[in-house]
């Protein structure tokens, strides 16, 4: 996990298994590794964890991650390889960009 304040980027999990290993078994190991990293996050003061999909959408969603826009990444974690982004905030789907800057539309400002 790469950390930037109370935010972190989870690089992984990576699971290497023989070719005949059932996919569900590999995904179960990946989910266990991801959940261990999340269990470490709270006590370490990490509030938000980001991860790239890496074809592990099932793992991320079951662990409480939701798809989020790239703009949510703090500057210190931007520019990492990969497409798509999932975010986790204590396992809740509640996500808000309120108070994080950025221009608001005229509609959002009530100027319509």
pLDDT for 27-45, tens place per residue?
999 999 999 999 999 899 9
**Assigned domain for 28 exists:** yes
Q: How large is the average pLDDT for residues 63-91? A: 87
Q: Is residue 62 part of a domain?
A: yes
Range of the domain at 29: 2-88
pTM, full prediction: 0.76
CA–CA separation, 44 vs 5, rounded Å?
10
Domains of the chain: total: 1
In a domain, 48, yes or no: yes
| Structure confidence at residue 50 as a pLDDT band (50, 70, 90) | very high
DSSP assignment letter at 20:
T
Judge whether 99 lies within some domain: no
Q: Is residue 94 part of a domain?
A: no
Cα 100 from chain centroid (whole Å):
18
> Considering the domain boundaries, does residue 109 fall inside one?
no
Residue 8 pairs in a beta bridge with: 3, 49
């Amino acid at each position: 996990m790469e950390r930037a304040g109370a935010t972190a980027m989870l690089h992984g999990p990576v699971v290497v298994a023989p070719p005949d290993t059932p996919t569900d078994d590999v995904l179960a190991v990946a989910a266990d590794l991801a959940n261990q990293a999340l269990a470490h996050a709270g006590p370490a003061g990490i509030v938000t964890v980001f991860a790239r999909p890496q074809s592990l959408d099932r793992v991320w969603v079951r662990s409480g991650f939701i798809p989020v826009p790239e703009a949510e990444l703090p500057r210190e974690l931007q520019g990492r390889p990969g497409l798509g982004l999932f975010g986790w905030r204590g396992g809740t789907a509640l996500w808000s960009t309120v108070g994080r800057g950025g221009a608001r539309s005229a509609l959002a400002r009530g100027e319509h």
